[in-house]
C-alpha cells in the first residue's frame, strides 16, 4: 500500500497561467505524470494553460476524447462511448498508481465544476489517496474580465448549459436574478433567443476566452451566429444594490 | 493623472492561505495599503487568510462594518447605514489614490461573487485604474473538501442565500439539479426544513470553514439548530452521470 502513488485533480484556472493557486503549483511539482484531456488533433486547453509550470522530467499523459460532440445517432451511443473512454483511462491510471507514480490530472477551471476529471474521480478516487485542488472558474474569470459584480446580497445565481433546449432555458431564466450560460458553441443563436424571450437581452454580456491572451469582449448581438469558441460564455449579472 | 494610485480587488480564496493565485500574490506585493472589511471587535476573515503574504511596510486599512445583521427596525435603515458606510470608505480611498497610493482590497473567496468589495467597486472602479483578480469561491472549496463533483454535463447549478424565506427556497430548490446554499447563520433550521420539503435532504451535505484549519464536516442533521458559523454552507450535488 505504501508504495502506491497519489492522484491529484488540479484546477489550473480559466486561462491566464498566473490564475493558478500556490497549492496547485506545489502539488503539480510533486507529480511524476501530468495527465490532461484533449480533442483529437488539437492541443489540450488545460496543458496550454499550465505548461509553463511543467518540468522536463515530468511525463505527459494525454487522454484523447473519442468524440467531442453529443450529437450522435443513436443518442445513447454518446454515453456508451464516454463510459468506455473513462474505463480505459481508469485502468491506465491504476497501472501507474499501483507502480508508485504520483499523477496530476489537469482540469481547466475547477476540477469538480463541469469537468471531465469528475468521471475519473468517481471511478478511482476512493481506491487511491486522492486530493482535489480547486481552481478559478471561467465564471469568476469572466466577471473580473468584464468588470461586473455577479450577484448581490440574497440574489440567486444560476449556471445554465447552452445545450438545454430553448424552452427549458427560458423557464430557468425566469427564476432567479443572476445567470451564467456556459457551453455556447453551436447553441449561441438558441441561447440568444431564449435570453431575448426572457426579457434579459439588455443585461446580457458576452465574452470569449476570459483572461487568455486572445480574450475578446463583444456585444452578444455581434457574436457570430454559427458558433462560439469553447471558452465563451454569457453573464447576466444581478441588478446592483446600494 | 499619472501620479494617481491603482486599486486592486483581490480574491484571497476560501481559507487555506495557499489557495490564493500567483496573480493575486504579485498584485498584493505591489500595494502600499492593504484594506479589508471586518466586524466590530473581530479580526477580519480576509486578513486572517492573507496575512502571511503581507509585508511589514504595507499599511493595514480596516473597514469596520457599522452592522452585521440585516435584522434592524425599521428595515430601511440597513440600506441607509450600509450606503453611508460605503460612501465614507470611497471618500477615504479616493484620498489615498489621489495621493498616489496603490491599494489592495482583500475579499474572501471571489471579489465579484457576493462580496462587500462590489459596493466599493461600483462607486469608484470607474474613477481610477482598477484591476479585479478573481479568487476560489467557498463553493468550489467546499466541493473539493467534501470530495463531491458539483454538477455534470448539462445540469443547472444554483446558488441560493439562506436569508430567503422558506417558501422561496422551496420553490427555487424545485428548479434545477444541483445547489449550494450560502449565508446559513441563523437560517439553518429554515434551510433544513426547505431542503427536506423539496425532497433533497438525503443528497444535502454540510460543511463549516472549508479548507481552513478548523474545517468541520458533519451531517446536516447534526449541525447546530441555533446558528452556523459564517463560513458554512450546504451543497446538494447533481446526480452523477456515467
- Print pLDDT tens along chain B (242 aa): 569 999 999 999 999 999 999 999 999 999 999 999 999 999 999 999 999 999 999 999 999 998 766 566 655 578 888 999 999 999 999 999 999 999 999 999 999 999 999 999 999 999 999 999 999 999 999 999 999 999 999 999 999 999 999 999 999 999 999 999 999 999 999 999 999 999 999 999 999 999 999 999 998 988 877 678 878 999 999 999 86
Cα B223 from chain centroid (whole Å)? 21
Q: Is A217 helix (H, G, I), strand (E, B) or coil?
A: strand
Interface predicted TM-score (ipTM) of this complex, two decimals:
0.95
Torsion of CA A128, A132, A160, B115, to 10 degrees: 160
State whether A143 and B21 contact (CB < 8 Å). Answer: no
CA pair distance A222, B7, nearest whole angstrom? 31
Nearest chain A residue to B163 by CA distance is A154
Cis, peptide link before residue B74, omega less than 30° from 0: yes
State whether B113 and A242 contact (CB < 8 Å). Answer: no
Mutation target to probe the A interface, by most A beta carbons within 10 A, among B88, B136, B150 is B136
pTM of the model as a whole? 0.95
As given in the structure block, the three cell numbers for residue A218 are 463583444
> Phi first, then psi: what are they for A33, rounded to 5°?
-125, 135
Asked if residue A206 lies in contact with residue A232, where contact means CB atoms within 8 angstroms, the answer is yes
State whether B132 and A147 contact (CB < 8 Å). Answer: yes
State whether B112 and A163 contact (CB < 8 Å). Answer: no
**Top-confidence residue, A67 or A178:** A178
Select from B225, B199, B220 the least CA-distant residue to B146: B220
- Residues of A within 8 A of B122 (CB-CB) are 149, 240
Beta-bridge mates of residue B208: B216, B232
> Phi first, then psi: what are they for A76, rounded to 5°?
-60, -25
Domains in chain A, start-ordered, CATH in brackets? 7-136 (3.40.1010.10), 139-236 (3.30.950.10)
As given in the structure block, the three cell numbers for residue B82 are 450600509
Amino acid at each position: 500500500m505504501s508504495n502506491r502513488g497519489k492522484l491529484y485533480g488540479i484546477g489550473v484556472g480559466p486561462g491566464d497561467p498566473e490564475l493558478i493557486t500556490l497549492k496547485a503549483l506545489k502539488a503539480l511539482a510533486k507529480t511524476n505524470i501530468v495527465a490532461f484531456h484533449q480533442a483529437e488533433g488539437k492541443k489540450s486547453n488545460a496543458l496550454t494553460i499550465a505548461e509553463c509550470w511543467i518540468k522536463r522530467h515530468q511525463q505527459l499523459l494525454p487522454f484523447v476524447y473519442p468524440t467531442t460532440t453529443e450529437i450522435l445517432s443513436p443518442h445513447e451511443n454518446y454515453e456508451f462511448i464516454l463510459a468506455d473512454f473513462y474505463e480505459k483511462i481508469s485502468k491506465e491510471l491504476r497501472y501507474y498508481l499501483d507502480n508508485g507514480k504520483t499523477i496530476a490530472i489537469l482540469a481547466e477551471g475547477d476540477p469538480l465544476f463541469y469537468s471531465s476529471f469528475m468521471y475519473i474521480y468517481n471511478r478511482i478516487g476512493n481506491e487511491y489517496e486522492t486530493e482535489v485542488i480547486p481552481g478559478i472558474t471561467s465564471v469568476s474569470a469572466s466577471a473580473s474580465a468584464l468588470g461586473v459584480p455577479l450577484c448581490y446580497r440574497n440574489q440567486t445565481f444560476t449556471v445554465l448549459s447552452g445545450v438545454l433546449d430553448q424552452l427549458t432555458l427560458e423557464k430557468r431564466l425566469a427564476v432567479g436574478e443572476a445567470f451564467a450560460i456556459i457551453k455556447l458553441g453551436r447553441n449561441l443563436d438558441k441561447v440568444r433567443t431564449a435570453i431575448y424571450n426572457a426579457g434579459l437581452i439588455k443585461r446580457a454580456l458576452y465574452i470569449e476566452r476570459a483572461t487568455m491572451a486572445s480574450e475578446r469582449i463583444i456585444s452578444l448581438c455581434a457574436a457570430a451566429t454559427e458558433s462560439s469558441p469553447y471558452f465563451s460564455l454569457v453573464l447576466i449579472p444581478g441588478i446592483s444594490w446600494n
